[in-house]
Amino acid sequence: MPSLFEPLKLGDLILKNRIIMAPLTRMRSKQPGNIPYTLNAEYYAQRASAGLIISEATQISQQGQGYPSTPGIYTKEQIDGWKLVTDAVHAKNGKIFAQLWHVGRISHSSHQPERRPPVAPSSIKPTGKVFTADWKQTDYEVPHALELDEIKNILLDYRHACECAKTAGFDGIEIHSANGYLLDQFLQDGSNKRVDIYGGSIENRARLLLEVVDIATHIWGKGHVGARFSPYGTFNDMSDSDQVALFTYVMTELNNRKIAYVHIIEPRATNAGSSDSVNHNTPSVANLFHKNFEGAFISAGGYTPQSAKVAVEGGLADAIAFGRLYISNPDLVERIQKNLPLAPYNRATFYGGSEKGYSDYPFFLA
């Protein structure tokens, strides 16, 4: 029976434990240019005792950005900034993957090249509010439905970002296909109404994701690539008419490609960290889809240390990703292992700012 603290083979890597630092948007890159810098390197290095760190979502292009001050991974300055981060994590014997991100319609023209509309599979405006480039909240805009040539350009952007992540010294990449961002928008029929090769059937709606996966595995090797999903998640106005059929197909295709891992968010935490509520009246997606994927299976969403131990020991997942608890507990592995108290987080400092609520949370045994 495995435990949280046993090593895990994840693709071509051996993780020192099964506690994963989930990708956490913190909006603290250096401006202008959305560049990681020394503060970010300190923050990630503090958390290097995790079996694996998955970086905050990192846009593959200017078009892929949807929030102010989120980092990119497509310019030389951004690559150099991320090299500070990966070097700092590796110096502490940690491992770190870059999470590659295109937000699609979850953006605003103020983030876009030449202030163009955000892009999406279909011209469907999401509900809710969006942050502009100057940190103001406003209604979403009607997105531009991507044409086939534009989709080809996005695939080139993913290729370039994969190459940049390699140059920056990451140990691998995670493809963000969760929480209502571009690849998820293509997957789910609530947001994808296309009638071409990227719409209609499940196979067509999954086409873009699988093309990105194939690009990533060509550049990185299959043992250094993972992907993240949020079946039944409603964050960012998402829905699908047959979640089981859709994600069973996706998991089966990824299993055939032998990627290192899949990372699934439980729908009980469907608000993607935007509140502390946990809905326990939802299906267990780990129960539904783990059987379709033979590689490492990472589960995330509303876990406590105790429920994480139960999930791994019971075979529900191979590793557990923690998000908010990693914000306020840089030494989360040690605290869980030694049953030490967990520090509370301050939601008011989650997004934007400097070291306060970011790199100033103390270690228990400092």
Active site residues: 181
d(CA 205, CA 347): 36
What is the distance of C-alpha 363 from the center of its chain? 25
How many C-beta atoms surround the C-beta of residue 271 within 10 A? Answer: 16
d(CA 163, CA 101): 14
Q: Hey, what are 346's tokens?
A: 């301050």
Residue 346, φ and ψ in degrees, nearest 5: -110, 105
List beta partners, residue 264: 229, 299
Mind giving me the DSSP string for 24-69? ------BTTTTB--HHHHHHHHHTTTSSEEEEEEEESSSTT--STT
Q: Is the dihedral of CA 294, 298, 80, 153 positive or negative?
A: positive
Q: Are 250 and 260 in contact (CB under 8 A)?
A: no
Q: Is 169 exposed, middle or buried (0-12, 13-18, 19+ CB in 10 A)?
A: middle
Question: 3-class DSSP state for residue 173?
Answer: strand
